[in-house]
Amino acid sequence: MGVATMAAGFEFAYCMSGKASPRVKAYPVKDSGDHSGGILCNLETGEVDIAATSDAALLGLILEPELLTENLANLSDTASVMVIDDPDAVYKVTDLNARVAGATLDIGTGGASVATSSNVDLVVVRASSATEKTHVRIVRSQHAYTAN
């Protein structure tokens, strides 16, 4: 299964285990916010919400929404988005800073970027220069399916 790339925000890069494709699943969305592709999300009472730093149940990357921001006023209980919810997934994101493997970062405003670490949401999985995309994964203790 191929995974579409997004113009802005996060993109799927690979799985740490080397498997070809991450697990992707449809989730219902909460009734507020921009649920467009390239945004990290969390699982809140069984629904996808835009990820924010220090969320305790980070889920993964929204891929191809079945609805757009302008349609959110007309949401029904069946509105959903496709999410990479695989704890093994690595994402890449434009970040104008050089990073070292093992460094921790926070999720930036709107779930589509990284920020200086204070809550340890993400971990850098490989070193990058300021001109390369930064490769991160959700910290296992923060992921909805691996948190203690």
- C-alpha–C-alpha distance, residues 105 and 128, integer Å: 14
- Which H or E run includes 48? strand 47-50
Task: Quickly count: other Cβ atoms within 10 Å of residue 40's Cβ.
Answer: 30
CA angle (41, 42, 47) in 5-degree steps: 105
Q: In terms of pTM, does the model score above 0.95?
A: no
Secondary structure class of 2 (helix, strand, coil): coil
pLDDT tens-place values along the chain, 148 residues long:
445 444 579 999 999 999 999 999 999 988 666 778 899 999 999 999 999 999 999 999 998 654 434 444 444 445 788 999 999 999 999 999 999 999 999 999 999 999 999 999 999 999 999 999 999 999 999 999 986 5
pLDDT of amino acid 37: 87
Residue 12 CB contacts under 8 Å (≥ 6 apart), including other chains: 3, 5, 22, 61, 63, 84, 89, 90, 91
